[in-house]
């Protein structure tokens, strides 16, 4: 077998080739990323209980035992209704983890323990904060209306259909669009608090989403998706996702699906959103 030397150690070429192939797969493979996230979840939640429904494995600590059936039932409904909107087959099984408090949810991602999130989608799995932490009187209706499950399941479907090839604004816009449609929940417009128009470019929303003013970045993401739906029809959104899944870049699929250049789309969309912002100030 051929071999090369690193620091005086002989390493067979076959091993190096396998290592390089693995590195390429780690960078590019959606499937491998999910596999690794799954392994990490298995290790980090080995102390958790599990309740399994037809399509979900819900993991929780004993303190949240009373909420597990409700969360699982809502997750089953979200799977059916969200995938129905997408017109796509959802994954057969999904792991959903209930964390007892914000600190443990944040810690599962290595985030600052003060980070606040009610739910997170990552690598094929959904993590939610226990309803006991944020609902005064937990009920299924309130958990559907105010909870994160529909939003996070929409992120999962975007990831599924595009095979991981999506812009941050697109997945946040679609998750809020789906959530608004199915549960009625929508964040208040930031225009109510701020009269001055502060809109971001698509590039900023794509590259720096987490360093932007959060309320504006989320609001604008939903507005862009609604702008596309209003002007080109909802089918355009699903077409864009399918194209991304086929390997198109966002500018290429916007051009193909909406029939105008990405730059012109951005100009027209920002002009419309500016009017929307000014309208929002008057509410």
Per CB under 5 A, residues contacting Zn ion are 172, 175
Structure tokens at 276: 């929307």
Residue 151 C-beta: closest distance to Zn ion, Å: 6
| Token output for 139 | 């009920």
Helices (H) and strands (E) in the chain, counts: 13, 7
Closer to Zn ion by Cβ: residue 159 or 172: 172
C-beta of 61 vs 226, nearer to Zn ion: 226
Token pair 């259909």 in the structure block, residue: 161
Nearer to Zn ion, 175 or 241 (CB): 175
- In whole angstroms, what is the distance from residue 217 CA to residue 198 CA? 10
Q: Which residue has its beta carbon closest to Zn ion? A: 175
For the chain, give percent helix, strand, coil, nearest 5. 60, 10, 30
DSSP-derived secondary structure letter, 213: -
Beta strands in 22-73 (DSSP E): 49-52, 56-60
Q: For Zn ion, which is the closer residue by CB, 64 or 159?
A: 159
Question: Cα 273 from chain centroid?
Answer: 23
146 versus 255: smaller Cβ distance to Zn ion: 146
CB of 13: closest distance to Zn ion in angstroms? 45
Nearest CB to Zn ion, comparing residues 170 and 228: 170
Least distance between Zn ion and beta carbon 85 (Å): 16
Q: How far is the CB of 199 from Zn ion (least distance, A)?
A: 20
Strand, helix or coil at 50? strand
Residue 138 backbone dihedrals phi, psi, to 5 degrees: -55, 125
Residue 184 CB, nearest approach to Zn ion (Å): 17
Pairs from 137-141 (Cβ < 8 Å, separation ≥ 24):
138/67, 138/70, 140/70, 140/73, 140/74
- Distance of closest approach, residue 176 Cβ to Zn ion, in angstroms: 7
Q: Closer CB to Zn ion, residue 165 or residue 258?
A: 165
Q: Beta strands 56-60 and 94-99: pairing type?
A: parallel
């Amino acid at each position: 077998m051929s071999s090369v030397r690193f620091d005086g150690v002989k390493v067979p070429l076959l091993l190096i080739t396998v290592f390089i192939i693995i590195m390429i797969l780690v960078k590019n493979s959606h499937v491998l990323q999910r596999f690794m996230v799954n392994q990490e979840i298995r290790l980090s939640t080995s102390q958790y209980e599990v309740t399994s429904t037809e399509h979900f494995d819900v993991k929780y600590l004993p303190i949240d035992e009373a909420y597990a059936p409700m969360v699982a039932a809502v997750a089953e409904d979200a799977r059916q209704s969200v995938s129905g909107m997408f017109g796509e087959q959802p994954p057969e099984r999904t792991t959903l983890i209930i964390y007892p408090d914000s600190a443990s949810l944040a810690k599962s991602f290595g985030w600052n323990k003060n980070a606040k999130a009610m739910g997170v989608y990552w690598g094929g799995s959904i993590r939610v904060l226990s309803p006991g932490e944020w609902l005064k009187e937990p009920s299924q209706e309130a958990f559907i209306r105010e909870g994160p499950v529909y939003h996070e399941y929409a992120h999962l479907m975007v990831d599924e259909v595009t095979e991981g090839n999506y812009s941050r604004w697109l997945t946040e816009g679609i998750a809020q669009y789906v959530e608004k449609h199915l549960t009625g929940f929508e964040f208040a417009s930031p225009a109510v608090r701020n009269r001055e128009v502060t809109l971001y470019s698509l590039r900023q929303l794509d590259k720096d989403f987490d360093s932007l003013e959060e309320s504006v970045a989320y609001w604008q993401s939903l507005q862009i998706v609604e702008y596309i739906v209003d002007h080109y029809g909802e089918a355009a959104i699903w077409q864009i996702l399918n194209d991304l899944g086929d390997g198109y870049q966002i500018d290429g699929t916007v051009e193909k699906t909406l029939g105008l250049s990405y730059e012109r789309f951005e100009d027209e969309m920002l002009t419309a959103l500016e009017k929307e912002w000014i309208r929002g100030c008057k509410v």
